[in-house]
Amino acid sequence: VAEVAAAERVVAELREACAAPPARLNDVAAAMEAEMRAGLREEGGSKIKMIISYVDNLPTGNEEGFFYALDLGGTNFRVLRVQLAGKEKRVAKRESKEVSIPPHLMSGNASELFGFIASALAKVIAEEGRNDVFQDEQRELGFTFSFPVRQTSIASGTLIKWTKAFSIDDAVGEDVVAELQMAMEKHGVDMRVSALINDTVGTLAAGRYNDEDVVIGVILGTGSNAAYVEEASAIPKFEGELPKSGNMVINTEWGNFYSSCLPITEYDQALDEESLNPGEQIFEKLISGMYLGEIVRRVLLKIASQSTLFGKVNHTKLKTRFILRTPDISAMHHDETADLRVVAEKLADNLKIKDTSLETRKMVVEICDIVTSRSARLAAAGIVGILRKIGRAVPGDERRSVIAIDGGLFEHYPEFRQCLESTLVELLGEEASRSLVVKLTKDGSGLGAALIAAAHSQYQ
């Protein structure tokens, strides 16, 4: 009984520390909005970089021709080739190839990584039909590179830092387009990188291609980030001539958002300290798929150290970092069997925890719920911050506003998605949320990049 009480205390403390009631979320949204303004004012004005993407035109649907996209940012990278056929026919053809990145390349050196990518590109080109490409035109590529980059134009930018599982020191500060272009030349790939974008910007573009009311793109996958359409005149740090469209897509890099009003636990602190990038990407570490499973593991480890509910700690795998992944906690959270069989299986298969009681399994589900709800609610608060910044879905605004969201966490974790959507309504109110639409927008980092490449083609 004392055992159970100790475990319940851990869960109660977790619930308390993760609490994100509306008042707190409003503070988070306000802080997000304030940080956005500070980041737009001057370079380095905020922890969130508010990167000028140089994308001042989003796709209209009229784009035509063959375009390529390269998506690098998660565990896999993808090469995509599309044929755009104008307003009526849209995407007439689409081929893609996914390659997983050997882990050693994620922390090796830049030339190895880009060489690996270029050789994959070379293979795709070797396999394609001859008459698909106009003989006298160079192939054009949109490069989705989902790490913070300081852009200087639509097709160049230097890497500020790596995030997620990447850490290649000699690439930091380098122009990633130049590195890719160099690697492509070495591998005999004749292709021009016509746009360097972030996956959030791509998601925004792909969303807009299908729905002209899309104003925000959000990634909730391995990492988390958001991009939105800003008025160019509302960006004090923007130098040079204002774009004709009057608009500029801003990549917020909200993953690095921090505010003292964020609900942060001892588990988050320890996770951060032991991470590849301590002190950075705090918002991302609270909400994105790379970390949710790991937070849950840390809570379970704490319970195991204070009780025998999971047996002897050293007989389990609870001490192995990142052994519990977000898809696992999603499966446990979603377990609809009466005896929580899926939870039992996951605990046994992933953590070598056997013979748990139903009560203990229920507790595990509750922990998943606490960690995931906090994540989804914080993500919703971030979105509300952006909506307020651009005066959308606020009282008096009647326009339809669409938010394009991509990423495995949003796509494959129904409890997360429901919680995010209901929290938006909770924060914005019934009235304002009626004109708000959240749309799963897959393939922003692929199709979106190809679309932006098309919009910035040298032949148009």
Q: How far is the CB of 106 from ligand ADP (least distance, A)?
A: 12
Q: How far is CA 266 from the centre of its chain?
A: 24
8-state DSSP, 315:
G
The kind and range of the H/E element at 230 are strand 224-231
Nearer to Mg ion, 363 or 409 (CB): 409
Q: How far is the CB of 365 from ligand ADP (least distance, A)?
A: 14
Please list the alpha-helical segments (H only) found in 42-109. Answer: 86-89, 103-106
Task: Clarify whether 146 is annotated catalytic.
Answer: yes
Segment near ligand ADP (CB under 6 A); pick from 17-25, 201-209, 218-226, 248-256: 218-226
Of the candidates 175, 199, 328, 335, the residue annotated as catalytic is 199
Nearer to ligand ADP, 76 or 109 (CB): 76
Q: Which of residues 68-107 bind Mg ion (CB under 5 A)?
A: 74
8-state DSSP, 175:
B
Cβ-proximal residues to 1 (8 Å cutoff; 6+ apart), any chain: none
Q: Which of 109, 111, 60, 66 is nearest to 84 (CA)?
A: 66
Task: Clarify whether 78 is annotated catalytic.
Answer: yes
Tokens at residue 182, please?
């160099």
Nearer to ligand ADP, 46 or 222 (CB): 222
Classified as helix, coil or strand, 139 is strand
Q: How far is the CB of 76 from Mg ion (least distance, A)?
A: 9
Q: How far is the CB of 186 from ligand ADP (least distance, A)?
A: 26
Nearer to Mg ion, 74 or 289 (CB): 74
Task: Clarify whether 199 is annotated catalytic.
Answer: yes
* One residue of 53, 151, 222, 281 binding ligand ADP per CB under 6 A: 222
Q: Which of residues 355-414 bind ligand ADP (CB under 6 A)?
A: 407-409, 412-413
Integer angstrom CA distances of residue 402 from 142, 178, 383, 441: 24, 35, 11, 11
* One residue of 133, 247, 327, 397 binding ligand ADP per CB under 6 A: 327
Segment near Mg ion (CB under 5 A); pick from 25-33, 191-199, 293-301, 368-376: 191-199
CA dist., res. 193 & res. 457, Å (int): 10
C-alpha Rg value of the chain to the nearest Å: 23
Of the candidates 53, 146, 194, 288, the residue annotated as catalytic is 146
CA dist., res. 89 & res. 85, Å (int): 5
CA dist., res. 295 & res. 326, Å (int): 10
Residue 290 interaction partner, one of ligand ADP, Mg ion, none, beta carbon < 5-8 Å per kind: ligand ADP
Footprint on this chain of ligand ADP (rule: CB under 6 A): 73-75, 221-223, 289-290, 326-327, 330, 407-409, 412-413
Footprint on this chain of Mg ion (rule: CB under 5 A): 74, 199, 221, 445
